[in-house]
Amino acid sequence: MPWLFGPSFAGHPASVEMKELKGFDVPTRARAFKARVDAFFLEQVDVFQYEIPWAPFPLAVMTCVGIEMIGSYKYGDSAGDKNGHFKSFVKDMDAKFAEVQLTPENKQEELAAFIYKGFRNSLAHGFYGKWVFTTHERAKAATFRYSDQKRFIVLNVYWFYKRFKETTNQYFQHLLAAADPDVDPLKTFNQTLQKNFSIWIP
């Protein structure tokens, strides 16, 4: 049984097997990865982006998974960086996430850290929002807002996923237009790919 990496893409009419990654040059790996993300992540998460079916919580969780994934390919995933790539990608989604505000613990943090510490982590490990609470109602938050009184964020989860997709598309446009594997964006992309699939790309 073949171990599949992803679906076919332009120039490669068959599904991509893991063992093929080693023989691909870096731009080809990038095209294969784009096809993988489209088919195995975005197209499957897209079903949650509408109010029918009603699934804002799964959409929030999967948006955080997507930020973690794409952020690591854009910014790297070095040991001990405390997921800086996640916070950097969140700030790419909206520059206002770089604002520094007081947390409920009375510490100064970027709003991107609120999303990481008080949303991504608490969703994944405890099934709750710690410093970030979601809404689907534009009247409550068309995008997101920080409460000075409560010191937490109200986040429109549908906007959050929309911005993730838009920012991801911008990243892929830049990645697929690149040609030099020794400079970014291809350099960091390939380093992360090799780390994640090291048993296939020794």
In the chain, where the domains are located: 4-196
What is the rounded distance in angstroms from the CA atom of residue 137 to the CA atom of residue 83?
30
Contact 60, 134 (CB under 8 A): yes
Q: What is the pLDDT of residue 142?
A: 93
> How does pLDDT run across 102-120, given as a tens digit for each residue?
999 999 999 999 999 988 8
Regions of the chain with pLDDT less than 50:
none
Report the pLDDT value the prediction gives residue 171, as an integer from 0 to 100: 98
Placement of tokens 């990038």 in the chain: 30
Q: What is the pLDDT, as a whole number, of residue 137?
A: 81
pLDDT, position 1: 67
pTM: 0.93
Residues 85-114 as b/e (b if ≥16 CB within 10 A, e otherwise) read bbbbbbbbbbeebeeebebeeeeebbbbbb
Strand 132-135 and strand 152-156: pairing?
parallel
pLDDT at site 79:
67
Please identify which residue in the block is written with the tokens 């079903």. 47
